[in-house]
Chains A and B, each alone.
Chain A
Amino acid sequence: MKRSLLGALAVSTMLSPIAAMAQTEVQFWHAFTGRLGELVAAQVEEFNASQSDYVVVQSHKGNYSETLNAGIAAFRAGEQPHILMVFEVGTATMMAAAGAVRPVYEVMAQSGATFDQDAYIGAVKGYYTSTEGDMLSLPFNASTPVLWVNRDAMAAAGVDPDTDLSTWQNVDAALTALKAGGEECPLVTAWQSWIHLENFSAYHDVPFATQDNGFAGLDTELTLNGEAQVAHLTAMGQWAQDGKFIYTGRRNEGGANFRAGDCALFTESSAGYAGISSEAEFDFDVRPLPYWEGVGNAPQNTIIGGASLWVMEGHEDDEYKGAGQFLSFLSSSDVQAAWHQNTGYLPITSEAGDATRAAGFYEANPGTEVAVIQMTAKEPTANSKGLRLGSFDQIRGIIDEELEGIWAGDKTAQEAMDSAKERGDALLRRFEAANR
């Protein structure tokens, strides 16, 4: 597989000077390395081989933040790519830059590619559509948080691995039992703000920010210091004090602990599947993210993380046609189904999900369907459609800082979230001023 890919790359590199005369080049900047990078390269190869009018050139530009920065810097210098991968927290930044991006629905119409917005899964699409319902960027990789269970660790601590962990009430009891059974790391998490605040709010159908979480306007304010969120963080803060929840860092550092078998429960993206299934030397389960019984309308649906593809302004018509063809190829059912099965990312079209089910993939790989069901079981509400907040990458940094205050026992959950709101709102006001 890898060798043939390298061979194909080498051949295409040799041929490209000749081919370039006849073909229109489309630049595609993305943020994937390793296994994901190989899969993206393979998709691009397949597209290039499938037709002769366009050639897509993919390049890796660093992590999500670095790729977005590279795209912005390139735009300022007039060297922007045709297609730029932007992570979900950069969505509001891109949407506000009307002169810098060309909406995907327009590109699709221009390119003449078949494009049916209704084919995309609502909860995925909703994040990237305008208030009028037009799709502005193409969802590419989308995942949602789930609960990973180390069955062996549960058994070792004398807790039944099949214990119902669907609610936080049950998890609370399980953590106490795990701790009593000698487990040193009962619970660990990745992406704390994304899972325990952003998704928490959507899942319990409580607002994270006013103006429909920012979808209805730039004059939005954070409401993450609401009763439900504070209650959850108070409980987690207590777990942290009792040694039932172990804090490992702001990103997905906890993944190393879980994959090594050091921790019993782990809240992490469904896209952790590839890593956990290949490294874990223990029996594991994927369960739906827990919710607090009786709080809000839980369980509503969870929201996505990941990235979408934006088409940048300032290129030739012909090149937009190529970009449209490529995006259309990416959302085709076969490509999506393969991507979903290889990576653990969600399928972006219902058709790709159905194809995966029909192929018997979910039965062969138990747990891979949990995320899909969790996201699509209910029609999203205004609180669970997603988040659209300016400067959100930085607001997440503020939230991380405040959460660390709770885990260290320096602040109560209420104090920390009040402060996060105050500081986050100041950034939202600046974003509003910059994009007025």
Chain B
Amino acid sequence: MEKRVTFRGWWLPALLIAPQVLVSAVFFFYPAGQAIWQSLFIPDPFGLSSRFVGIGNFEFLLSDKFYRASFGTTAVFSILVTLCSMIPALFLAVMADRLIKGSGVYRTMLIWPYAVAPAIAGVLWLFMFNTRVGVVSWYLGNLGYDWNHVLNGGEAMGLVVVASAWGRISYNFLFFFAALQAVPRSVIEAAAIDGARFWKRFWTIVLPLLSPTTFFLLVVNVVYSFFETFGVIHTITSGGPQQSTTVLVYKVFSDGFVGQDLGSSSAQSVILLIVVGLLTIIQFKFVEKRVHY
């Protein structure tokens, strides 16, 4: 049985959670409230006047076929980023976990990319795939493949996915690695004695035991791909070519900070908030049932 500490009275617990409540209120609830309020207006950029339009901003957005199309782009992008950042991370963690000597070095090296800011990562990948001076595009050219993410939407999507997932692999690796360390050796040894090979043990014992971590990472990575990949897209493609990498969060930026259309931008943040909220609920309701704690 777990041990539970209970407090007498209410003021000590209230005091203890107060800092967290305060931080949430100032940095989350207040701005979110502002976004919802602003989404009902069309203001001018300088805040000199603003016109109440009710749900006009939402109507404007949802009747725009390019905005609706960007939901599809976002879905493809998020799924790819999540898969490309979790699967290699799990693979690397399993490999690093098997090492007896030198695992510290591998661990450190694998964690490094996490320290690179998204915009910098974007620039790094952009240089490698630059159509004129990029190392990778030059190599592909030698192989007879003409890389041109400036005009080819599929290639552009591939590039932003890889650049977004790259740094994230480190983060996921860290969690998977820690979780692997917590898998009881005795269970694995027992299975080994019963004649289960490495991959058999992995599928039937290790993976189910990792499920809480996997679920946590799934939620966190989906949120990441929705909100934090903006820097990468901004530096590599600016949403192009045509609209092939314009994800929802990039459109929030471009309407708000390029178009100075704060009404539409706020309305989009609200929509994004609802979408991510729904996704998280779905994840907890359906995916979590398959998680063994």
CB–CB B258/A394 < 8 A: yes
Q: Mark A245-270, 1 if CB is under 8 A from B, else 0.
A: 00111100100110010100000000
A167 at the interface (CB under 8 A from B): no
Distance A181 CA – B76 CA, assembled complex (angstroms): 44
The residue from B242, B254, B264 contacting A404, defined by CB atoms under 8 A apart: B242
> Is the CB–CB distance between A247 and B46 below 8 Å?
no
The verdict on B43 contacting chain A, using a C-beta distance below 8 Å, is: yes
Within 8 A of B (CB), among A386-426: 391, 393-394, 397, 400-402, 404-405, 407-408, 410, 423, 426
CB A82 to nearest CB in B, in angstroms, measures 16
Question: Bound state CA distance, A167 and B81, in angstroms?
Answer: 48
How many chain B residues sit at the interface, stated as a range, is 20 to 34
What string of 1s and 0s marks CB contacts (under 8 Å) between B44-83 and chain A? Answer: 1111101101000000100010100000000000000000
Are A401 and B243 in contact, CB atoms less than 8 angstroms apart?
A: yes
Q: Which residues of B contact A257 (CB under 8 A)?
A: 132
Q: Which of B131, B238, B254, B263 contacts A434 (CB 8 A)?
A: B263
In the assembled complex, how far is the CB of residue A429 from the closest CB belonging to chain B, in whole angstroms? 9
CA distance A262 to B259 in the complex (A): 35
In the bound complex, CA of A404 to CA of B46 (Å) = 33
Q: 8 Å CB contacts to A: which residues of B113-142?
A: 131-133
- Partner-contacting stretch, out of A94-102, A219-227, A375-383: A94-102
User: Beyond A247-B150, A430-B42, is A76–B47 a contact (Cβ under 8 Å)?
Assistant: yes
Nearest-neighbor residue (CB-CB) of A416 within chain B: B242
Which residues on A sit within 8 Å (CB–CB) of B240?
250, 400-401, 404
Known A99-B48, A408-B151; contact A394-B259, beta-carbon cutoff 8 A: yes
Verify B46–A397 contact, CB threshold 8 A: no
Do A72 and B238 contact each other (CB < 8 Å), given the known contacts A99-B48, A401-B243, A434-B43?
Answer: no
Cβ contact within 8 Å between A407 and B151: yes
Q: Identify which of A253, A394, A435 contacts B44 (C-beta below 8 A).
A: A435
Least Cβ–Cβ distance between A298 and chain B, in angstroms? 29
A436 x B254 contact (CB < 8 A): no
With A and B bound together, what is the CA distance between A381 and B46 in angstroms? 32
| Chain B residues whose CB sits within 8 angstroms of the CB of A93 once the complex forms | 45, 260
Q: Is B260 within 8 A of A72, CB to CB?
A: yes
| A234 in the interface (beta carbon within 8 A) | no
Report the Cα distance A405→B244, complex, angstroms. 11
List residues of chain A with CB within 8 A of the CB of B47. 75-76
Chain B residues near A402 (CB, 8 Å)? 242
Q: B204 on the interface (CB 8 Å rule)?
A: no
Instruction: For the complex formed, measure the closest distance between the CB of A45 and the CB atoms of chain B, giving whole angstroms.
Output: 31
A427 at the interface (CB under 8 A from B): yes
Interface residues in B241-266 (C-beta closer than 8 Å to A): 241-243, 254-255, 257-261, 263-264
In the docked arrangement, what's the CA distance between A423 and B259, Å?
13
Closest chain-A Cβ to B222's Cβ sits at a distance in Å of: 27
**A11 at interface (Cβ–Cβ under 8 A)?**
no
Q: Which residues of B contact A75 (CB under 8 A)?
A: 46-47
- Determine which residue in B48, B60, B66 has the highest number of CB atoms from chain A within 10 A of its CB, and name it: B48
Q: Which of A247, A391, A434 contacts B151 (CB 8 A)?
A: A247
Q: Can you identify 12 A-B contacts, CB atoms within 8 angstroms?
A: A69-B260, A72-B46, A76-B47, A97-B44, A97-B45, A100-B48, A247-B150, A249-B150, A256-B133, A408-B152, A427-B259, A434-B263
List 9 A-B pairs, minimum CB-CB distance, nearest first.
Answer: A394-B259, A100-B46, A404-B241, A76-B47, A99-B48, A97-B46, A434-B42, A408-B151, A401-B242
Instruction: State the B residues within 8 Å of A (CB).
Output: 42-48, 50-51, 53, 60, 64, 66, 131-133, 150-152, 238-243, 254-255, 257-261, 263-264
Since A76-B47, A391-B259, A405-B242 are in contact, a sample of 11 more A-B pairs with Cβ atoms closer than 8 Å, ordered by chain A residue number, is: A72-B46, A72-B260, A96-B44, A248-B150, A393-B258, A397-B238, A404-B242, A408-B242, A434-B45, A434-B51, A436-B51
